[in-house]
Chain A
Amino acid sequence: MIKLENFTFTYPEEKDSALSDLSFEVPTGQFWGLIGPNGAGKSTLCYALSGMIPHYFRGTLSGEISVAGIDVPRSSLGEMTGQVGLVFQNPFNQISGSRFTIRGEVALGLENLGVPRSEIEERVHETLEHAGLAELGERSPFALSGGQQQRLAIASILVMRPRVLILDEPTSQLDPVGTHEVFTLLDELVGQENTTILIAEHKLERLADFADNILVLNHGRIAANGAPSSVLTDPLIEAIGVQPTRYTQAARAAKERNLIEMDKELPVTLSDARGYFRETAV
């Protein structure tokens, strides 16, 4: 569903490439996490996967990038709209402002695409149910909490039934409740719709619960690519500036203090850690 081969991109007037020689492949229906320090190129990659690069942001690129079967550089942005969705950090910037109800807001994308009215009504209803926003249908998009607004942003994209959904740190500005709401929605999505999802995130504990695979970016290059249990416990990520879970950090420190002898896989989540510290006691 997503395929990159030696993909390189440089912003105009920049010496260094923002992304260098990226090659990876995301199978259909998988949920991938994208992690890396600030400035690694996560946002740039999200823009490239959604077609904003090169169709909105100019720059020089080389290599291959194909998303949802579309050759991104050689197609138009119009072809990508509706196939690939992009959600980013700030919920407020994603609200169009031209609709006065949530229902209207979600319908906007379909209206722009010229979908017949009866179909719009049906799909909006379905999407609002999925996103848990059905009761708030007549409310103003601005009268929502951050978590609700972010779910609205996701719903507004989902209604267009994209095959790929790219999210750039969607929970960064949300409180724990909002974060939970967003991850729950995404989890359901993968279960039901077989949408391919790639999410750039800092909150590793959440990612570990949901992700099939983790991609690590540093200085515009891929630093690691593998299963959450191995990537999220790799000392590499802390070295490049990604905060591991405290469980991983505690386990690593316990080994250094010689409190743990066995060479078991380091924990990432609470349940991993519970088992780790109980069972592997010296």
Chain B
Amino acid sequence: MKLQFELISFSYPGDVQALVDLSLTIEPGERIALVGENGAGKSTLAKHMNGLLKPDQGHVLVGGEDTRQTTVARLAHYVGYVFQNPDEQLFSSTVRDEVSFGPRNLGFSEAEVDQKVEAALEAVGLIESLDQHPYDLLRSERKLLGIASIYAMDTSVLVLDEPTMGLDLFGIRKVSNLLHECFSAGKTVILISHDLDFCAEHVERYIIMADGKIQLDAGIDSAFEDLEMLAFAGLEPPQLARLAQSLGFKSTPGTVDEFLDLYEKWLEKK
């Protein structure tokens, strides 16, 4: 499912322009981090992907279809959007019912719904809590529940808004696990996140936003070179990138393993 943004502009009513003449193409299967300060326009841009917002000017095409010609409910078949605060969507009395809500709305059969619900809860490690009341779970578990609720819709594009916020290492690993399942299935994944270290371990493309515009759209090697631009966007490079830069490495590592591979080469040169 290809996503295309053609020169879109958008303002919230009575407000400053949130997006200015923005163009972007996202191919199926890409893994993207959408980063920048709060107010830069990340969520505003992301909400155009599933039709929650329609541009004032320009077009947004999802799988070739203009989002203006269709509804949010129909786009929900293709683009899943995980909001930041799970407490702003939970309403069922069991975890199972909660996660079933999305797939049921999409029209899957009960058997398919059950299968997707279980797969999603397995992915986030909450399968044991099927019959629990969501509000009996810890806040961090509710966060994972929120992610599972959208994952169960089995969309080809998944947008996650701050998926690791408030999670400890175990929770982060569960999100990571879910993302790897997405990658294996060829899904397009878009992470909106302040946790650049987590992004660096999962994505290949960084879209850096500030002031409603895309400041830079690049892979890890070039994304973190321009420190001045990053400062303007309110960002610091991921920890391993900073370390690699200060040691003078030629390319930029995303994971610890990549860092060590580069380190080995660096040692050999010495």
Contacts and interface: CB of A to CB of B under 8 A. Distances in A.
Q: Indicate, yes or no, whether A interacts with B.
A: yes
A243 B169 contact: yes
B177 to A, nearest CB: 15
Interface in B235-268: 235-236, 238-240, 242-243, 246-247, 256-257, 259-260, 263-264, 267
Given A175-B194, A176-B235, A259-B260, A246 B168 contact: no
Q: B interface, by DSSP: helix, strand, loop or mixed? A: helix
Contact of B168 (A241, A257, A282): A241
Contacts of B104: none
Interface string A28-44: 00000000111100000
Contacts of B22: none
Contacts of A89: 166
B172 A253 contact: no
A38 B257 contact: no
Nearest to B138: A39
A236 interface: no
Contacts of A254: 260, 263
Contacts of A177: 37, 234
A259 B267 contact: yes
Nearest to A276: B243
A183 interface: no
B263 A242 contact: no
Nearest to A252: B256
Contacts of A174: 38, 194
A85 interface: no
B135 to A, nearest CB: 15
Contacts of B197: 246
B53 interface: no
A116 B169 CA distance: 49
A250 B242 contact: no
B167 interface: yes
Contact of A270 (B139, B140, B243): B243
Interface string B86-99: 00000000000000
B38 A175 contact: yes
B41 interface: no
A249 B259 CA distance: 11
A47 to B, nearest CB: 15
A38 B140 contact: yes
Contacts of A274: 243, 246-247
Contact of A259 (B234, B235, B257, B264): B264
A192 B246 CA distance: 33
A217 to B, nearest CB: 12
Contact of A176 (B236, B243, B256): B236
A246 B247 contact: no
Given A205-B239, A241-B170, A246 B246 contact: no
A172 B149 CA distance: 23
A89 B140 CA distance: 14
A146 interface: yes
A253 B255 CA distance: 11
B38 to A, nearest CB: 5
A281 B270 CA distance: 9
Contacts of A169: 166
Nearest to A89: B166
B39 interface: yes
A89 B139 CA distance: 12
Interface of A: 36-39, 89, 145-146, 169, 172-178, 202, 205, 238, 241-243, 245-247, 249-250, 253-254, 257, 259, 270, 273-274, 277-278, 281-282
> Top 6 closest A-B pairs, CB basis?
A38-B140, A246-B239, A37-B168, A177-B234, A243-B169, A241-B170
Interface of B: 37-39, 138-141, 165-172, 194, 197, 234-236, 238-240, 242-243, 246-247, 256-257, 259-260, 263-264, 267, 270
5 contacts: A39-B140, A173-B166, A175-B234, A176-B236, A259-B263
